[in-house]
Chain A
Amino acid sequence: MDFLANLSMGFSVALTPFNLLMATAGVIVGILIGALPGIGPPSGVALLLPLTFGMEPTSGIIMLAALYAGTMYGGTITSVLINTPGESASVVTCLDGYQMALQGRAGPALGIAAIGSFIAGTFGVVLLMLVSPLLAKWSLSFGPRETFAIMLLGLTTVTLLAGESALKGYISMMLGLMLAMVGFDIISGDARYALGIPEMMDGMDFLPAAIGLFGLGEVLTGAEMVAGTAILKANYGLRDVMPSAKDWARSRWAIARGTVLGFLVGLLPGAGPTVASFLSYTVEKKVSRHPQEFGKGAIEGVAGPESANNSAATGAMVPMLTLGIPGSATTAIMLGGLMMWGLRPGPLLFEKNPEFVWGLIASQYIANVMLLVLSTAFIPLFVRALRVPYTILMPLIIVFCITGAYSLKNSVWDVGQMLVFGVLGYAMKKLDYSPAALVLALVLGPLAERALRQSLIISDAGMGIFFLRPISAVLMVAALLAIAVPVARALAARRQ
């Protein structure tokens, strides 16, 4: 009964006119951000976070979560129509979505992606609602050793999955951790590495860093490109985007598998929507009766991954809300937002801020319905947005970066910090480092340090403490495996 009462309270929060408006705005802006090249979900969330400072935290998280769901679908539009993914979770959709568009079937490709996203998103919220309170209750027993172990696992797996080069992924993570050491020490009060600069004594704020690395960094990368994009012509009326009975028959199990797989992958720290979409594509190709059609316009190749990425985006909220561990760059920025709003993510969030958590859960149901309506009935509007020249879009994004960084503390220092991180983000992207690992480390660094030092105080400086209890031992072994796997791979490659 508690459960139904909580959900009912959540809907009473989510259905207020302002929160409904925020959810709608989040979905629309999310679809646009997902569709527009050069700006992905992390930059979208980072750029919109400053707007939430004037709102209640519940309204803020409702908008950001709706935006995250919207970006997952928005990337599909460009994958299908111009063979260019708007964001990384839609990369795999290019393979069959664009082929379908070339065959004059862009409508059904976009339609099945929208329906799959709706089913997966809704089912993902049901799972989020069922799993999160249980996980939160279980994690109440976590002490500093478990907290440190799970943070280490989150950091190592994100780094493992970050890019081509594991070494550069780990360097990015270490850089983030080192930057997280700047400012007042949480236990002794020493101002570390502040170099006598008052602004640095408060530490490196993650928001200017995230806006710089993802927003400005991506714009600078896009600035080099000159060519425009050719958008395939297609009909996007409601009838045109509705899949036929045959399409539906081929897609329904792909959607079901993508939904479950996506949610499970989303739960893992470090995995997230992109990994889920690739895994789903591989699974669909393996189980298909006609694998030869994959890459040539198989609708399952769109339905499965598009369902998986939406479900994973919802699943990624579970560790963020219940354990305070973000699974991806986007949820890392959301986690930072939670801290800025004065909330403490983790198991106590469910006990101390039930209206926040259940308002978010209820709003996700509403956001999924909005996403379905907007992504089937208003496709032409979003396609029109794709025609905005990048030379106009790029300066606009930079303006958002500058105003967003400034409005954090009304400080030009933060704008300068954002600019430095923007240049760093550009270089990192070009040289295959991982901005996601850096941001995650910057957010988790102070928390991980506190948990580590508290554990070592308890054990009188013995590192064995992490292996004395089963949960922390399993998590530590998993984290060590995440470090060992790329090393073993590199050694094997060298032998070959």
Chain B
Amino acid sequence: MSVRKADRIAGAALLAGSVAFSAGALKYYTYSGPGGPGPAFVPFWLGVIMALLATMLLVGAWRSKDPGAQWLPQGDGLRRLGVVLGVTVAFVVLLKFVGMILGTALFLVVLMRLLDRTAWPLALSVAAATAGLNYLVFTYWLKVPFPVSVFGI
């Protein structure tokens, strides 16, 4: 996708969002009262200013003859980005079930193997050391109650 196309999409989305933001402020909150400006006052004007800026972005991108560079990677770059993002999202979604410490170890092994086929001994050592450090610093020292897996870690 070109930068110009991304700017058009962003401009349109921001314009719609800012109009809804201002309208929502007026509909649900008080603009002003006897005590002065109410909770809708600042959000309303922020929405108005953002709508103006979004219109400028949209008009500029619409008039531009230069499509600009491709902003999303292609080929191997896209694959790597997809792998990192996909594995990270999976880790966050499964966090409550796999637990933070065990999940950290699994996440590291999976990502290192998928990205660069890191040798198993190295991947396992890095994963074990990081999970151990995580446990020591956050669970033991800072007493952060991390989610735990069915195995209790």
Contact = CB atoms under 8 A, between A and B. Distances in A.
Interface residues of B, number: 69
A453 interface: yes
B16 interface: no
Contacts of B153: none
Contacts of B85: 220, 223, 423
Contact of A453 (B14, B37, B46, B56): B37
Contact of B73 (A171, A224, A410): A224
B66 interface: no
B71 A431 contact: yes
B29 to A, nearest CB: 6
B133 to A, nearest CB: 10
A192 B145 contact: no
Interface centre among B30, B83, B84, B104 (most CB of A within 10 A): B84
A167 B130 contact: no
Interface in B18-61: 18, 21, 24-25, 28-30, 32, 35-39, 41-43, 46-47, 49-50, 53-54, 56-57, 60
A50 B32 CA distance: 39
Contact of B115 (A177, A391, A406, A422): A391
Contacts of A51: 137, 142
Interface in B89-128: 89, 91-92, 95-96, 100, 104, 107-108, 111-112, 115-116, 118, 122, 126
B36 A453 contact: yes
Contact of B38 (A188, A389, A407, A410): A188
B77 A225 contact: yes
Interface in A425-476: 427, 430-431, 449, 452-453, 456-457, 460-461
Interface string B65-89: 0000001110011101101110011
A402 interface: yes
B138 interface: yes
Contacts of B149: none
Interface residues of A, number: 55
Contacts of A416: 92
A384 B24 CA distance: 55
Interface in A40-84: 50-51, 53-54
A415 interface: yes
B39 A185 contact: yes
B144 interface: yes
Given A415-B92, A430-B71, A392 B50 contact: no
B46 A171 contact: no
B151 interface: no
B148 interface: no
Given A223-B84, A391-B116, A402-B92, A174 B37 contact: no
A339 interface: no
Given A167-B53, A412-B147, A453-B36, A395 B137 contact: no
B56 A399 contact: no
A219 interface: yes
B58 to A, nearest CB: 11
A54 to B, nearest CB: 4
Contact of B144 (A170, A399, A407, A415): A407
Given A51-B142, A219-B84, A427-B6, 18 more contacts: A54-B141, A171-B53, A174-B46, A174-B49, A175-B14, A178-B21, A188-B29, A188-B30, A188-B38, A190-B39, A389-B118, A399-B104, A399-B108, A403-B104, A406-B95, A415-B95, A431-B6, A452-B42
Closest 8 CB pairs of A and B: A457-B36, A391-B116, A224-B77, A185-B39, A54-B142, A224-B73, A395-B111, A223-B84
